[in-house]
Structure 1
């Protein structure tokens, strides 16, 4: 399940849990939107979830992200956003 996630899938899950769209994640990671969508789909299947809210809960439970986690300054700049996701 969680152990099967690749490093890239973990990065995508973290950014999803912070409220980033696939387009924002693609900008942050330097990937195509379709590639982000593939990583998102694969991660959700491996985690056994179908909804983003549940994905976020599972990510927090398995320490992929924290409830206090925020986007880094670099991630904010690349995503072209001012808010952090949680705030």
Structure 2
């Protein structure tokens, strides 16, 4: 995500409507940005990476978890981090 932010455009747009999703994966980690708002949203890769940096180490199997969520205060979008099945 930081690579995209530094080498492309840090801001991305996610479409309108329910359950529009952007997914990125690296090794055994998958992360999703899910838009549940009826309007188009913009977010930046750097901030998304910061959320993953926080969620990933706190939501691992050592904590009896397999990922986690960061939900917006208005619940119109969320970021999910999980281990993919390889």
What TM-score do you get using the length of structure 2 for normalisation?
0.27
Q: When you count strand as a share of all residues, which structure comes out higher? A: 2
What TM-score do you get using the length of structure 1 for normalisation?
0.27
Q: When you count helix as a share of all residues, which structure comes out higher? A: 1
